[in-house]
A and B are shown apart, each in its own frame.
Chain A
Amino acid sequence: MMTLTSHLSSWNHFWFRSTPPHVLAMFRIIFGAFLLFYFGVQLPHVAMLYSREGLLMPMFSPDAPLTVIFTPPPSWAAHVLFLSFLGALFFFTIGLLTRVSTAVSFILYVYYWFLSLFHLGASFDHLFLFTLLVMAFSGCGKTFSVDIRIRSGSWTAWEPISILPQRLLAVQITMTYLGVGWQKIVLPDWQSGEILVHGFIGRWATAPAYAIVRMNIPLSLYDAVTWLIKAFEVSLPFGLWHPRTRWWFIAGGTLFHISIAILLSIWWFLALIPAYILFFTPPAPSPSASGAGRGGVFHRVMELILWLPIEEE
């Protein structure tokens, strides 16, 4: 029988132990590149999206000292701010002044949220903002980064970090899938396959989705797919945590999000696919394992990829 002390020890081991920073560093690079793409494609439209030339109605009326910063700026200022944002995201991605660049990215993302993004109110923006906030305090720049290259002369040198930020992000993804799946079980609209039919001919639908509906597939098949989606979303968070099922659920989650992107043009959740790496538990660091000059970046990444599936829980 486990004692209270051993429970506490397991709790601390799960949440607070030191760990190599490679998982978070790899996620930083992929997530940073994703955000750069997400916002980079908006660059030609900054004047309309984020300046007073567009039709902006910020969340707060700019009538008090705390809210006046949300007055839509002139076009030139909007461009300067946006380029600063992209610059901060780029620095975050390559790991240059990582903590500062992550914090600046987060603050400017919050600014754009209050200025305009809240109109869509998208779950992915909520998730991305939360992720940036956690990453700002994570030490994700402690390997595979310009920072570590400058400090120790090697891209692959590393310093141990707390596992807490990685756990927080993994738990958040767990809760996201769990909440979404649970809601679909009880929400009236999700009790039959009609929701899929309506979605496939709605505002988000793409040509392949319309083509599927035009095939006149029986509604019972849509019903079955709806239940499959609900079962998958509820079980996904558990499947991702368990080493034996993880790769199956990663494959399923990948297929799921790619399908959504293709059929409903909702591509932002593709960022969750690389986030599955956060469910892998890195081994405890040994003092002799860190340090500079242990092979090239490619070698280290391959080593990490080969290590991931055979980790010990």
Chain B
Amino acid sequence: MACRFLQRAVLLGYLAVTVGALIFTMFKVHFLFPGWVTRWSYGMMAPYQGDTSWNADFVYEGELPDGTRTVINLDPYMPYGFGERNQRKFLTAFKTKDGSLQRRKFTEFALLLLDRERARGNKYRAIRVYSERWDRSPGGYAFLHTPVFTTREFLTQVQ
């Protein structure tokens, strides 16, 4: 009896949450449940909603004690496929309306990198973080990633 009741409760709960998520998907209206519940269910209905006509990447530039600068290769730290690695660099999981949390996280990420690089014997004095953007091209992902076609924005610096 308790098992039957539990089964029905689970089913009704699941259906209500799923309908709530579908309503959120269609009309962006929150429906009864806590935000994280709706977001989780909505997350199962939300792949590939849009795209851009540009590519972007993030440059972490280390400054050595003698003042010279080198670009730090993040690939060894991020052993993912190309698309996933690029997407993760945006730190979009920390995106908020005003963007302040995401910006703080870029600083936090740069501090982590500085710590790891120093542990590897690379005595960087500071790390500067830039966002770079360029138009997409059928010629390849980095085909237009050249100084002429790339815009660069300073994000943060840690030392």
Bound together: yes
Known: A162-B7, A179-B46. A210 touches B51 (CB 8 A): no
Q: Is B150 an interface residue (CB 8 A)?
A: no
The 8 A CB mask of A180-219 against B (1 = contact, 0 = none) is 1011001111100011001101111100001001100000
Q: Is B116 an interface residue (CB 8 A)?
A: yes
CB–CB A203/B141 < 8 A: yes
Chain A nearest CB from B88 CB (Å) reads 5
CB–CB B51/A202 < 8 A: yes
* Interface set, chain A 117-148, CB cutoff 8 A to B: 118-124, 126-127, 130
Main secondary structure of the interface of A (DSSP, over half): helix
Q: Is A235 an interface residue (CB 8 A)?
A: no
Contacts of A118 on B, CB cut-off 8 Å? Answer: 93
Contacts of A190 on B, CB cut-off 8 Å? Answer: 49-50
Known: A57-B109, A126-B44, A214-B138. A121 touches B51 (CB 8 A): no
Q: Is B105 an interface residue (CB 8 A)?
A: yes
CB–CB A179/B79 < 8 A: no
Q: Which of A44, A54, A56, A179 has most chain B Cβ within 10 Å?
A: A179
The 8 A CB mask of A233-252 against B (1 = contact, 0 = none) is 00000000000000000000
Partner of A265, one of B11, B14, B81, B112: B81
Total A-B contacts with CB atoms under 8 angstroms apart: 135
Report the separation of the CA atoms of residues A250 and B53 in the bound assembly, to the nearest whole angstrom: 33
CB–CB B45/A168 < 8 A: no
Known: A203-B87, A265-B83. A57 touches B112 (CB 8 A): yes
Q: Is B65 an interface residue (CB 8 A)?
A: no
Chain B nearest CB from A81 CB (Å) reads 18
Q: Is A48 an interface residue (CB 8 A)?
A: yes
Contacts of B116 on A, CB cut-off 8 Å? Answer: 53, 55
CB–CB B78/A119 < 8 A: no
Chain B nearest CB from A70 CB (Å) reads 14
Q: Is B37 an interface residue (CB 8 A)?
A: no
Known: A57-B105, A201-B136, A202-B51. A130 touches B88 (CB 8 A): no
CB–CB B138/A48 < 8 A: no
Chain A nearest CB from B106 CB (Å) reads 10
Of A28-36, A93-101, A170-178, A291-299, the one with at least 4 CB within 8 A of chain B: A170-178
Partner of B84, one of A44, A120, A171, A187: A120
The 8 A CB mask of A155-173 against B (1 = contact, 0 = none) is 0000000101000100110
Partner of B91, one of A119, A172, A175, A194: A119
Contacts of A199 on B, CB cut-off 8 Å? Answer: 48, 51
Contacts of B108 on A, CB cut-off 8 Å? Answer: 57
Contacts of A55 on B, CB cut-off 8 Å? Answer: 74, 77-78, 109, 112-113, 116
Chain B nearest CB from A31 CB (Å) reads 15
CB–CB B21/A198 < 8 A: no
Q: Which residues of B contact A (CB under 8 A)?
A: 4, 7-8, 10-11, 14-15, 18, 21-22, 25-26, 40, 42-53, 55, 74, 76-79, 81-84, 86-88, 91-93, 105, 108-109, 112-113, 116, 136-138, 140-141
